[in-house]
Amino acid sequence: MTAVRVGESECGDCGRPVELIAGQVASEGLRWWASYTCAHCGRMIEMDGWGIPEASFREAFLRADGTWGLKIHASGSQAVLALKLLRAELGLSLVETGRLRDRMTGVVTEVTLAEVRHLQQLLGRSGVETSRIRLDAEHG
Ligand SMILES: [Zn+2]
């Protein structure tokens, strides 16, 4: 689990600028954490949670580890099962699920590295074969 610099935030105690770092990991679910240590008053803060973190954290993870695409190698009932699992996990509407079904032969969703690992674990537990590809490899 690598720590990624999210950017500058404000110390909850003294209000001075602090450097916020965060990380994301797929291990029996999708988890994130964030922390800072205030260089001015010494205050240490740690936060964590489950699921998709707030946008500024995700942007930092995407910058650090790249943007990843999930591919599903399934047909018939396995493909239906994959859609059902993704719909529940990503909170998709029926329309969004329909769009996802239309993309089943390509990249179904573009997410962070930990998120794609999490989706692969989730689908893999139900026997759905998946792979991941890095979508922004050209940019380092
Ligand atoms: Zn402080």
Q: Exposure string (b/e) for 75-85, b if CB count within 10 Å is 16 or more?
A: eeebbeebbeb
* Ligand 1 centroid from CA 20, angstroms: 12
- Angstrom CA distances, 57 to 20, 21, 77, stand at 10, 9, 36
Question: Could you tell me the residue range of the domain that residue 52 belongs to?
Answer: 4-64
pLDDT, tens digit, for every residue of 93-124? 999 999 999 988 899 999 999 999 999 999 99
The pLDDT of 72-98, averaged and rounded, is: 93
92 and 35 housed in the same domain: no
What confidence score (pLDDT) does residue 36 get?
Answer: 96
Task: State whether 84 and 51 are in the same domain.
Answer: no
- Interval between CA 34 and ligand 1 midpoint (Å): 16
Give, for 130, the enclosing helix (H) or strand (E).
strand 129-134
Radius of gyration of the chain (CA): 18
Can you read off the two tokens belonging to residue 63? 């910058």
The proportion of the chain whose per-residue pLDDT surpasses 70, expressed as a percent, equals 97
Average confidence (pLDDT) over 31-39: 96
User: Mean pLDDT over all residues of the chain?
Assistant: 93
Interval between CA 21 and ligand 1 midpoint (Å): 15
Q: Are residues 78 and 38 in the same domain?
A: no
pTM: 0.89
